[in-house]
Chain A
Amino acid sequence: MNTFAELTIVLIILLNMAMSVSGSLASCIRLAAAQGVAAGLLPLMAAGGAHGRAVAFAAFIIALKGLVFPWLMLRARELTGARKEIDPLIGYPASITLCLAAFAASAWLGSRLPLPQSGVAYIIPASLATIFTGFLLITTRVKAITQVVGYLVVENGVYIFGLALFVEQPLMVELAILLDVFVAVFVMGIAIFHISREFDHIDTDALSQLSDWRRGEEG
């Protein structure tokens, strides 16, 4: 049974790497969605029992992460007329190197963290690596939409981490986080739409012009 779970973990890690080198906005959104679906399937395989509540919960998660979020973001991309490219601040080789380094660091960190042993191998490192990849997307990409994708990836990571801790009952923790992210995505979707309407672009880089604190200025 755990074989499938471990294969899913491998899939999630591979999706992380794919996202860190993906140059197209649409494919990045789809990859994040795929990762969300994989993460949503994970509890069904790991817990060894597809009882009613778990199935309903997984279906809800998969619907949200696999359908609603990507639809919202693809729509936001269409509405804002964002260019197809992803505009990274650092090159793709550097991105994948950082992603691999994050995975190595997660493997080390996972062995150090005082956590209860989980039945699935590498679930802790995978979750940490996913969180780091999300942060990588947030910090090194220019467009606001990519940052929303980054938050979703972080959320995927947190979800997997929650699975590792409470294999049976991640419900409460997860629902709370999910609610936060849902609101965040919603707000960001609206904000991006309005920003693009005001400024004709959604490069957060250019938003720094709004900062009232300019370097070296006194008075």
Chain B
Amino acid sequence: MVFFALSILVLASSAFLALASGGLAARARIIGAGGALLGSALGLVSVLKVLFMTGAEAYAGWPAFSVPLGRLALSIDPLAAFFLLPVYLLTAFAAVYGAEYLGAGGGRRTGAAWCCFNLLTASMALVFASANAVLFMLAWEAMAVSSFLLVVYDHHKEQVRRAARIYLVAGGAGALALLLLFSLLGASSGTLDFAAFARPEGGAAAAAFLAALLGFGLKAGVVPLHVWLPEAHPAAPSHVSAVMSGVMIKTGVYGLVRTLGWLAPWDGWWGPALLLAGLASGLVGVIFALAQHDLKRLLAYSSVENIGIILMGLGLGVTASASGSTAVAGLCFGGALLHALNHSLFKGLLFMGAGAVMHATGTGELEALGGLAKRMPRASLYFLAGAAAISGLPPFNGFISEFLIFLGSFGALRGPEAPALWSVAVLLALAAIGGLAGACFARAYGSVFLGEPRSSRCHSAHDCGAPMLAGLALPAAACLFIGLFPSAAAGPAAAAVSSAFGAEPGAAFLSAAELPLAYVSAGALALVLLLALAAALRVFLLRGKVPAAGPTWDCGYAAPTARMQYGASSFAQPLTDFFRPLLRTAGRHAPPDGYFPRGSEFHTEAGAVFYNNFYAPAALMLRRAAYRFSWLQHGRLQFYILYIIGALLALLLWKL
């Protein structure tokens, strides 16, 4: 706990020092990135201590610091530590990466950006470590504010300002729902300390669950509450997108898991509710990801998809545990938590990879990129690793967690009826999501890195510098490590499951996953060995020869251009056409005309369906309703004072 407190202290003080460094970008970079690295290292010490040595650590409270109803009570149990692990890991990676990425701001002042970045890290760490609802909400809001400020980093763009506005509104709405949750829990248990929370009676428990689903679901980006996510995450600088998409949305998952712990025993419909939310998020997320034209927006939608996978695991686990299948529940819970960790690693990697692409070419538009694998070989390799991991392919970590959820679902088929039926839905959805995600990332990687450049901006692109490459290589290595040695991650995940849902599912997870994971590990190592052998064979066959590079075979056509390549839209078209009723793709299409066609164009755009068809009309209605009361807002000072007096008098008379 000392190390944790020190890490918060280092992060906060380096944040303010970076702010005070003023216009000196170099100094802000050293202080900001150095503070983030040091803070993360200190935090990692305390996290690893909890995960592998001591078990839970708590800090009862510092009497000098107290606010009404709240106190500075911290506690790091294995669950919190399991979520803190990616916070510190990804922050460290992103800080290394950001040192170069932000440095290229073209003489912009970066002190404020570093300040917000370190404050964001500190507040996220506090969110996971707080053991009191008031402290939790304070950290939660600090997290929302600092990330909002980072989202508006490029505030001169209208689109960024709009995204930030939506983000702010979503954050406020979520916090309101959480206040309801904590008041319900506080009313039933008489305190706001997490350790003493008790399940409210009767309907209040269901209300608390729904409030948690709303509040934490908004932060996690669960469909249909996800509308802010594809707007806000791409708007931020890439290393911040990585942290936001990788770690910050996991605070929502963490909150849901904690709430499930407080509200046990669970009502029968909670598991299916979580499961359906996960199903919707997973499918909608991946389908919309397929239709995006912007690399970072695609990644943001894919975050929605992965949150869906996590929620499906949680939901099936809750359903199974309600019917007594502990082994299935353990596998599902463990898979879901592990997927939260894995997703933060590969999504951080992918966002930073997208940032490297944008850094080199100035655009994230899929149709304008191409051929970067030859120009940015190393960044391309790391992005490929991330793409394989997120598509759930061995030997990377994405495969492990999805495999565990699959394993749990197949186990549930042999168990009692209710979880068995739901597990069929999970299996079908997971298979569909896996396939679509594979297509989505084949499309993303293919159109960005393979083929020939589609615009002049890609011609001069080159690999980024050492800090950014390190920021990409480290998470890629972590992805590969967990993919090769999953048992190393299974232990902490089991400890987290135990501290969240009781010792039984944790132990069941460990025993049920041990053998399959050993096989997976062996298979992955064999695959790596095979790849290494193939590479060695290639080197052996090519010895003493100079490979020649020629143009792509062009069917005899004499003047092929890069624009004749299979584009990102054409790659996805069979799938996006199939899902047209959901996607509502709007398009303009002017085909070539006549024997000597002049110009032609093709333009499609996947609409923000949920935003346009639900949230925007709802906001408009709210606005109309608000104008009904505009007569109250006449601008006459006397009447405003009269309102205040009226309110005071009413309070006085009410209390008489």
Which residues on A are within 8 Å of B, measured CB to CB? Answer: 89, 109, 112-113, 135, 138-142, 147, 204-205, 207-211, 213-218
Contacts and interface: CB of A to CB of B under 8 A. Distances in A.
A215 B637 contact: no
Interface string B604-642: 000000000000000000011001001101111111011
B656 interface: yes
Given A113-B656, A135-B645, A140 B630 contact: no
Interface string B247-291: 000000000000000000000000000000000000000000000
Contacts of A141: 638
Contact of B638 (A204, A214, A217): A204
Nearest to B624: A218
A203 to B, nearest CB: 10
Nearest to A113: B656
Contacts of B633: 211, 213
Residue from the set B627, B630, B635, B652 with the largest chain A CB neighbour count within 10 Å: B635
A210 B634 CA distance: 10
Contacts of B645: 135, 139
A140 B642 CA distance: 9
A215 B623 CA distance: 13
Contacts of A214: 630
A215 B15 CA distance: 45
A147 B645 CA distance: 14
Interface residues of B, number: 17
B634 A147 contact: no
A217 B627 CA distance: 8
Contacts of A204: 636-638
Interface string B433-462: 000000000000000000000000000000
B3 to A, nearest CB: 44
Contact of A135 (B623, B635, B641, B652): B641
Contacts of A211: 633-635
Nearest to A208: B635
A214 B636 CA distance: 12
Interface of B: 623-624, 627, 630-631, 633-639, 641-642, 645, 652, 656
A30 to B, nearest CB: 23
A216 B638 contact: no
Contacts of B642: 139
Contact of A207 (B623, B631, B637): B637
Given A112-B656, A135-B645, A138-B641, A205 B636 contact: yes
B498 to A, nearest CB: 54
25 contacts: A109-B652, A109-B656, A112-B656, A113-B656, A135-B641, A135-B645, A138-B638, A138-B641, A139-B641, A139-B642, A139-B645, A140-B638, A147-B637, A147-B638, A204-B636, A205-B636, A207-B635, A208-B634, A209-B635, A210-B635, A211-B635, A215-B630, A215-B631, A216-B627, A216-B630
Contacts of B636: 204-205, 208
A9 B133 CA distance: 51
A141 B652 CA distance: 25
A209 to B, nearest CB: 8
Contacts of A215: 630-631, 634
A213 B630 contact: yes
Contacts of B634: 208, 211, 215
Contacts of A218: 623-624, 627
A41 to B, nearest CB: 28
A139 B641 CA distance: 7
The 4 closest A-B pairs by CB, nearest first: A211-B635, A208-B635, A204-B637, A213-B633
Nearest to B634: A208
A213 B631 CA distance: 10
A142 to B, nearest CB: 8
Contacts of A209: 635
B640 to A, nearest CB: 9
A87 to B, nearest CB: 12
Contacts of A216: 627, 630
Contacts of A205: 636, 638
A159 B631 CA distance: 36
Given A112-B656, A208-B634, A215-B630, 14 more contacts: A138-B638, A139-B638, A140-B638, A147-B638, A204-B636, A204-B637, A205-B636, A207-B635, A207-B637, A208-B637, A209-B635, A213-B630, A215-B634, A216-B630
B616 to A, nearest CB: 15
A211 B638 CA distance: 14
Contacts of A213: 630, 633, 635
A110 to B, nearest CB: 11
B635 to A, nearest CB: 3
A135 B635 CA distance: 18
Contacts of A142: 638
A204 B636 CA distance: 7
Nearest to A146: B638
A211 B630 CA distance: 12
A89 B639 CA distance: 11
A209 B623 CA distance: 22
B30 to A, nearest CB: 44
A118 B342 CA distance: 72
Contacts of A210: 635
A109 B636 CA distance: 29
Residue from the set B623, B627, B636 with the largest chain A CB neighbour count within 10 Å: B636
A135 B638 CA distance: 9
Contacts of A135: 641, 645
Nearest to A150: B641
A192 to B, nearest CB: 12
A210 B633 CA distance: 12
Contact of B639 (A109, A112, A139, A147): A139
A219 to B, nearest CB: 10
Contacts of B656: 109, 112-113
A99 to B, nearest CB: 15
B642 to A, nearest CB: 5
A101 to B, nearest CB: 13
A209 B639 CA distance: 15
Nearest to A135: B645
B414 to A, nearest CB: 61
Nearest to A214: B630
A135 B640 CA distance: 12
A199 to B, nearest CB: 14
A218 B639 CA distance: 23
A138 B637 CA distance: 9
B484 to A, nearest CB: 59
B641 to A, nearest CB: 5
A141 B635 CA distance: 15
A135 B649 CA distance: 12
Nearest to B656: A112
A215 to B, nearest CB: 5
A147 B636 CA distance: 13
Contacts of B627: 216, 218
Contacts of A138: 638, 641
A167 to B, nearest CB: 22
A171 B116 CA distance: 45
A139 B645 CA distance: 10
A214 B633 CA distance: 8
A154 to B, nearest CB: 10
Nearest to B628: A216
Residue from the set A112, A139, A140 with the largest chain B CB neighbour count within 10 Å: A139
A216 B623 CA distance: 12
A213 B627 CA distance: 10
A177 to B, nearest CB: 15
